[in-house]
Structure 1
Amino acid sequence: MRSCTSVIQAIGNTPLIELGRVGKDLPAKIFAKAEFMNPGGSMKDRIALRMIEDAEQAGRLKPGDTVLEETSGNTGIGLAIVCAIKGYRFVAVMSEGNSPERRQILRALGAKVELVPQGEGGKPGQVTGKDLELVEQRAKELEKQLNAFWINQFHNPSNCLGHYSTTAQEIWEQMEGKIDYFLDVVGTSGTFTGIATALKEKDPNIKCWVVEPASAPVLAGKPVTDPKHVLQGSSYGKVPELWQPELCDGYITVTDGEAIRAARRLATEEGLLVGYTAGGNVAAAIRMAGWCDPGTRIATILCDSGMKYLSTDLFK
């Protein structure tokens, strides 16, 4: 293995792991992309690098500029890493509802963190679409005040391209093209849109399903009964701009309890310490594996590291 000239060269090429223990006795096989093994501990490192480098190539980002982004934490951490290497000042705008570990990591990486109070009735660990609107409002204010370059991941096509060109290609190669289903939650929709587009180009028979919180299945066109859920960084109760419904073949929901139990099982049975959203993905995959034909192959994403949730109730 060659050495890296910087940590950004270590982004990507994460392992794909068959979940043979949590998936034992199920007809289908579950494979999980270990995105928590990226340098910043999440899949968002990939898009951070792609969005920065695309902006540089387009002449929109120049030496000495300040980079700004609204984030639940993971994209911000990825951007903080890339900005540290490339010499940009980075400002992360995030809700107070996100886990405190994320803001601590951001500050340790040299980022300035602008915390935005949650809306009325907000609960730590459960960031809603309303909370996100307050974060976006503050980001717009800071963009003008700081004359900063706003990455704007929710509206940035490079978000999808980061996963289209890397994550999806790796999954295809690691599974040797033998994929029946791909499952993932949707936040900005960059991961789902990018991966689903690439996989369907390679094999139109691959079915791509969205995982949503049981209380907020907005993409499935069902009512939002409670926007507060534990799947941090995803499912904000509104349809993201990058969403492409024609790529989605089906919808499956998980409860908070199912996501938590799956994350705990991944830790104790598979040795994989991951967060709530990865638990949600695997909970959905386990359910799907139970009704699929024998030998069906399901791929999903382990979004981020459980180290970012040690202050929460996830592992208590």
Structure 2
Amino acid sequence: MAKQYGPTDIKESALDLIGNTPLIALDRIWSGPGRILAKCEFMNPGASIKDRSSLSMIKRALNSGQLKPNGPIVEVTSGNQGCGLAVVSAVLGHPLTLTMSAGNSPQRASMMRALGANVVLAPQVEGKPGNVTLADVTQAENLGLKLVEDTGAYYVNQFNNDDNSKAHEEATGPEIWRQTGGRIDAFLATVGTAGTFAGVSRYLKKQNKDIVCVVVEPAGAEVIKGDPVTKPLHLLQGSGYGKVPQLFKFDTMDSTLGVSDEEAVHYKELLGSKEGLYLGYTSGANVAAAVKLLQSGKLPKDAWVVTLLNDSGLKYPADV
């Protein structure tokens, strides 16, 4: 007699681990009134929200023929997109070369290399370790474009790739809507490429135009707000580069909030000590902004505010 087995639940690859992240209530940091709910994007296999856009951009490039099966890929990154692309490239069999500023955290370079990527570091021209400016990113971009020219590799171009924001309009936004049962008063997010904010806010506004969508910016680098840049060096790696990103659209933004380095560090530490979550600085900034919004009195007292826990604290040096 053949053995009888129960149902199985086996994932075929790391790509099946991307997305469908839990939504957690941060009730220990903010006990009310209102509630802060956060998407656990650090639980993606590349330990950040960028896994979502990495999978979207590569799959769509393959489907359109821009990228050939097993063809080489080049991208410029601050680290998280590179880690996501390295996960996807490892599974799908693409040689991947990533250029990154030497000022971005070495932990990210180590992770990308461990996932099989070739990592080329561009020297810093303006910032310092842990503080990367637009000029530093431009240096890494020039290096990446030269590699594309020399090799003919597919250039992902995350800052100008619409498939970046589509990942969040088609998946992240619907997940948030489903997990809250449609009860969401506000959404907040830091902005790097703007793919996440653009995609999620676009989806949420289609469900309910009254959902308040707020951009979180580093204090002193609030260009989306319209202020001049007075502090190009800040701790929020991967965001606040000092110019409005190509993918950003003002029509789904209701307002902005600035967060200082000190506030980002404070809430990063609270996420660890009160919620048991070891996360990066943009996660701290998102939570700091959520607290500010709830304290502002601009929302109903019982408001549910959703934000993102973007990446793991393991991607940063212990001291900055």
Taking structure 1 as the reference length, the TM-score comes to 0.97
Whether the aligned pair in 2 keeps the contact of 1:125 and 1:312 (CA below 8 Å) is no
Cα distance in 1 between the residues matched to 2:70 and 2:168: 28
In 2: Cα distance, 1:141 partner to 1:288 partner: 43
Selected match of 1:229 from 224, 229, 234: 234
Aligned counterpart, 2:313: 306
Gapped regions of structure 2 (runs ≥ 5): 1-7
Q: 1:21 & 1:287 partners in 2: Cα distance? A: 16
Superposed CA deviations along residues 156-197 of structure 1, whole A, max 9, x for unmatched, are 000000111111111000001001110001100000000000
Alpha-carbon contact 2:165-2:196 (below 8 Å) kept: yes
Q: Taking every aligned residue pair, what percent have the same amino acid on both sides? A: 47
Please point out which of 4, 9, 17 is paired with 1:2: 9
Report deviation, 1:202: 0.6
Q: 1:267 aligns with which of 272, 278, 291?
A: 272
Is the contact between residue 28 and residue 290 of structure 1 (CA under 8 Å) also seen in structure 2?
no
Match of 2:282 in 1: 277
- Secondary structure of residue in 2 paired with 1:17: strand
Paired residues in the alignment total 311
Could you tell me which residue of structure 2 aligns to residue 294 of structure 1? 301
Counterpart amino acid of residue 12 in structure 1: G
Structure 2: distance between partners of 1:135 and 1:245: 28
Q: After TM superposition, list the pairs within 5 Å mapping 1:104-123 onto structure 2.
A: 104-120=110-126, 122-123=127-128
Normalising by structure 2, what TM-score? 0.96
SS at match of 1:196: helix
Give 1:210-229 correspondences, 5 Å limit: 210-229=215-234
Q: What is the RMSD computed on CA atoms of the aligned residues?
A: 1.0
- 1:131-150 to structure 2, matched below 5 A, reads 131-150=136-155
From 91, 94, 102, the counterpart of 1:96: 102
Q: 2:41 aligns with which of 35, 39, 45?
A: 35
After superposition, where does 1:48-63 map in structure 2 within 5 Å? 48-63=54-69
CA deviations over 1:89-126 (Å, ceiling 9, x no partner)? 00011001111100000000110001001114x21101
> Are 1:80 and 2:86 matched, yes or no?
yes
Q: Distance in 1 between matches of 2:29 and 2:62?
A: 43
Q: Given residue 66 of structure 1, which amino acid in structure 2 is its aligned partner? A: P
Paired residue type of 1:7: A
Matched residue, 2:25: 18
**Displacement of 1:260 after TM fit?**
0.4
Larger Rg: 2
Find the aligned partners of 2:115 and 2:83 in 1 and give their Cα distance.
8
- Give the 5 Å matches for 1:162-177: 162-177=167-182
- Quote the Cα distance in structure 1 between the aligned partners of 2:311 and 2:294: 22
Q: Shift of residue 288 of structure 1?
A: 1.2
Task: Please tell me whether the aligned partners of residues 164 and 198 of structure 1 are also in contact (alpha carbons under 8 angstroms).
Answer: yes
| Alpha-carbon distance, 1:278 to partner | 0.5
- Counterpart amino acid of residue 247 in structure 1: T
* Distance in 1 (alpha carbons) for counterparts of 2:69 and 2:25: 43
2: CA distance, partners of 1:21 / 1:216: 30
1:195 aligns to 2:200 (yes or no): yes
Distance 1:64 1:283 in 2: 42
Q: How far apart in 2 are the matches of 1:42 and 1:50?
A: 14
Q: Does 1:47 align with 2:53?
A: yes
Secondary structure class of the residue paired with 1:241: coil
1:41-92 Cα offsets, whole Å, 9 max, x none, are 0000000000000000001111231101000111111101111111100001
Q: SS where residue 138 of structure 1 aligns? A: helix
Q: Is the 8 A contact 1:96 1:115 kept in 2?
A: yes
Question: 1:259-297: per-residue Cα shift (whole Å, max 9, x none)?
Answer: 001000000100111100010000111111223331011
